Amino acid sequence: MPETSLTTILDHRRQFLAFVQRRVPDPAIAEDILQAAYLRALRHEADLDRNESVVAWFYRVLRNAVIDFYRRRSTENKALQAWGRDLETSVTPTPEAENELCACLTIVLDLIRPAYAELLRAVDLAGQPLQAFAHTQNISASNAAVRAHRARAALRRQLIKTCGACARHACIQCTCRAMS
């Protein structure tokens, strides 16, 4: 972009920002859109017709940036609504179904690291929130999240090792050798 065009765009910053602020609900969003439009203008400077006013051209860039913002927002809202509908219709297991968990789970939990087993019993089986577990253990929430990830991986490995094909198929009608 020629220096004079860039200078002109920067000289009109206040007007450009006001233009965007009238079209979006939050001043911080308006600032983000303006900054993104500056970057877009720099990348697409070849689109500027030499006979066209740089200010008029940049207003077009800003209008497109605002339109893109609302398109993204609409897409995000649709995704959140779909996710909400999925949550509303998701089935929470009944107590009877929870009792039918693979009977060897308790056996296998005793075969992994005690810290992992403790976390899985508290968080996954008893339903304690991960942050609450972290607080009781005097560890950070991020440390607890990493530990939970590692614990679940260790449990998965041990279940496959102990239960074989049964564990690979979600322990439905478990008949593995851990039961015997």
- Give the pLDDT confidence of 96-136 residue by residue, as tens digits: 555 555 567 778 888 999 999 999 989 888 888 988 999 99
For residue 115, give the DSSP letter: H
Last residue of a domain, one of 28, 63, 89: 89
What is the Cα–Cα distance from 67 to 73, expressed in whole angstroms?
10
Range of the domain at 19: 3-89
CA atoms within 13 Å, Cβ hemisphere of 131: 0
Which residues have CB under 8 Å from 102's CB, separation 6+? 159, 163, 166, 167, 171, 174, 176
CATH code at position 71 = 1.10.1740.10
Question: Which of 70, 89, 108 is a domain's end point?
Answer: 89
Total domains present in the chain: 2
Check which CATH number belongs to the domain holding 136 and give it: 1.10.10
| 99 and 164 co-located in one domain | yes
- From 59, 89, 119, the end of a domain falls on 89
pTM of the model: 0.45
Residues 102 and 74 in one domain: no
Mean pLDDT by 10 residues, the chain (180 residues): 71 93 93 92 77 85 92 83 68 55 74 92 87 91 88 86 61 51
